[in-house]
Amino acid sequence: MTIREITRIDLHMHSTVSDGTDAPEEILIRVREAGIGLFSITDHDAMSECARIRSLLAPGDPVFLNGVEFSCRDREGKYHILGYGFDPGGISMRDVVEKGHRLRMEKAAERLDRLRTEFGFSFPEEEIRRLMALNNPGKPHIGNLMVKYGYAENREAAIREYIDRVKTQAEYIRPEEAIEGILRGGGIPVLAHPPFGSGRDAICGVDLDRRLRRLMDFGLRGLEGFYSGYTPQMTGEMLSLAEKYGLYVTAGSDYHGRNKQVILGDTHFDPAQKIPDGLRRFLEDVRLG
232-249 pLDDT per residue, tens: 999 999 999 999 999 999
* Side chain identity at residue 251, one-letter code: A
Question: Of residues 31 and 197, which shows the higher confidence score?
Answer: 31
In the chain, the largest separation of any two C-alpha atoms, in whole Å, equals: 57
Cα-Cα-Cα-Cα torsion 38, 42, 43, 49, nearest 10 degrees, comes to 40
- Is the dihedral angle over the CA atoms 6, 12, 18, 23 positive or is it negative? negative
Q: Is the distance from CB of 194 to CB of 140 less than 8 angstroms?
A: no
- Looking at residues 213-223, what average pLDDT do you find? 98
Instruction: Kindly report the average pLDDT of the chain as a whole number.
Output: 92
**Cβ neighbours of 178 (radius 10 Å):** 32
pLDDT digits (tens, 9 = 90+) for 62-93: 999 999 999 999 888 899 999 999 999 999 99
- Looking at residues 203-228, what average pLDDT do you find? 96
pLDDT (0 to 100) of residue 75: 85
Q: In the structure, what pLDDT confidence band is assigned to residue 212 with cuts at 50, 70 and 90?
A: very high
Q: In the structure, what pLDDT confidence band is assigned to residue 171 with cuts at 50, 70 and 90?
A: confident
Report the C-alpha gap between 158 and 22 in whole angstroms: 21
Question: For the chain, what percent of residues have pLDDT higher than 90?
Answer: 78
pTM across the whole model = 0.90
What strands lie across the sheet with 8-10, from one edge to the other? 8-10, 36-39, 63-64
**Would the pLDDT of 4 be above 60?**
no
Q: Which CATH architecture has domain 3-97+173-285?
A: Alpha-Beta Barrel (3.20)
Backbone angles phi and psi of 231, in degrees to 5: -85, 165
Listed residue (34, 36, 31) closest to 56, CA to CA: 31
- Please give the distance of CA 61 from its chain centroid, rounded to a whole number: 23
pLDDT (0 to 100) of residue 7: 73
Instruction: Please compute, for residue 137, the number of CA atoms within 13 A of its CA located in the half-sphere on the CB side.
Output: 21
Report the C-alpha gap between 204 and 72 in whole angstroms: 19
pLDDT digits (tens, 9 = 90+) for 23-68: 999 999 999 999 999 999 999 999 999 999 999 999 999 999 999 9
pLDDT (0 to 100) of residue 84: 98
> Could you tell me the residue ranges of all domains in the chain?
3-97+173-285, 104-165
